[in-house]
Amino acid sequence: MSAVQLSRKEKMLVHCAPIREERVDDRALRLALHRARKTEAFAIQQDFDKAATALVQAIPIPQEITDWIPTDTFIAPTRRAWKKYAQNPAFLATGIAVLVIAVVAIFQLVERMNRFPGEPTARRLLTTASSTHAIMLDPVKTDAGALGDFFFMKHRLVHYDVPPEFAELKTLGCRVFDDEEGQRVGQVWVVEKKMQFFLFPAERDPKTGKAREFSGWRSIEQERWAGVVKEQSGVCFMAAVHGSAKDLAPYISKPKG
Amino acid sequence: MAEEKQDLLQLYRFCFLMLADAAKAEEVFHATLRQAAQQAANGEPPRDRLWFFRNARWRCLEAGERSLQAEDVKLAQDELAAWAPSQIKKLEPQQLAVWISGAPDPQRTALALFYLDEFNYRDLLSVTELKPLELSKLLCDGRRQFQAWLDTTFPVTQT
């Protein structure tokens, strides 16, 4: 046996060391015992304890005691030790990783569900909206609903109609321009909330050339601008406003005939 | 269930070590089991096996108070000896129980629980309601006092 010097804490733990190895489930105790096993004093202590334990186990059990032992358990079923698992660093790390993956997956799923044909164009036009000044448009003061005829008559743009939900809003100006992809875009500036409307061709299937339809209103947000988009007869209409989707919600919540 | 049966057998041994009296140990054992059964019937069964030992501990101490009390004297201590196992082998379980039951509490509880060899370090601290340093000192002193008693009872020349 080598003359290993145990620290005060190690000595304290070694004095409480369980006799059976499987009872040693404390890390600090295990470390203390690892060092103590190199000492003669600990070997003597263990022999002493083993002898005393053997004597205790030799205490006879009266028949009355054995008879009294119930067949059913009295102890409450163990609750799930989720707190114990939660405190384990490995479980904690795995849990956090799974949570992050789940959040990302849900985020992507929600984003994908909100996608619609023509969304890239709509996003591009939101950028256009943010950089447009009223002065860039031809002054036109009328109801937005009346501009459908104007687009058709002057620019030969069919079905460039403002939906009924926004048709009654008063306009300040409008223009028609070609976007990056050469598509004809109608832009309208209205008085209310300095809102802008865009009318542009719906996305088309490259094989069949047919417009990709979608039903109802879809919303997009980008750099503090929000838009609601609807497709009808191969043309998309987007109302854009500087703010959030909540600002546009009242207009589209009650469909008008 | 086999584990619980083993626990209950050890519970009786614990009571015996605390009281050094088979009849009283049996009484405490039965009282403890009766209370557990009542609680279980009321839908509040004991949470774990430690409940049985805590409950029996206080019953043993209460029963101990009604009998002869050990005098509060400072016992002699000896270094643990390599020949201690051969000295212990000469003892009857009853003698060990008399020695342990004569110790003041909480040393009595600490020694009785420790030598049952049923508990890990944390369980021991929980049932004895001691701090680690206190438990360590009580066990260390207990061993040395027991060694001194062994040396007196079975002098080295006899071993």
Percentage of chain B modeled with pLDDT above 70: 92
Report whether pLDDT(B95) > 80.
yes
Structure tokens at B66: 């009604």
How many contiguous H segments (helices) and E segments (strands) does chain B have? 8, 0
pLDDT computed for residue B159 by the predictor: 46
Q: Give me the residues of A, 13-52, that contact B with CB < 8 A.
A: 13, 15-20, 23-26, 29, 41, 44-45, 47-52
Give the pLDDT mean for A202-208.
88
Q: What percent of chain A has pLDDT over 90?
A: 40
Contacts of A23 in chain B (CB under 8 A): 117, 119-121
A36 contact residues in B (CB cutoff 8 A): none
Position B98 scores a pLDDT of 93
pLDDT > 80? residue B52: yes
For residue A73, pLDDT over 60 is answered with yes
CA atoms within 13 A of residue A220's CA, in its CB half-sphere: 23
d(CA B29, CA B39): 16
Question: Hey, are the CB atoms on A29 and B117 less than 8 Å from each other?
Answer: no
Q: What is the pLDDT of residues B68-88, one digit of tens each?
A: 666 667 778 888 889 999 999
Nearest alpha carbon to residue B108 among B79, B154, B81, B141: B141
Nearest to A64 among B13, B26, B136 (CB): B26
Is residue A198 classed as helix, strand or coil in its secondary structure? Answer: strand
Q: Give residue B124's pLDDT.
A: 92
**CB distance B80–A44 less than 8 Å?**
yes
pLDDT > 70? residue A237: yes
Across residues A118-136, what is the average pLDDT? 88
CA distance B67 to chain A (A): 22
Query: Given an 8 Å threshold on Cβ–Cβ distance, is B88 in contact with A55?
Result: yes
* Residues on chain B touching A20 (C-beta within 8 angstroms): 117
Chain segment A159-181, per-residue pLDDT in tens: 999 999 999 999 999 999 998 88
Minimal Cβ distance to A16: which of B22, B85, B121: B121
- Position B158 pLDDT exceeds 60: no
Q: How far is the alpha carbon of B18 from chain A, nearest alpha carbon, in Å?
A: 12
What is the average pLDDT value for chain B, to the nearest integer? 88
Q: Does B2 touch chain A (CB under 8 A)?
A: no
- Is ipTM strictly over 0.85? yes
The overall pTM is greater than 0.80: no
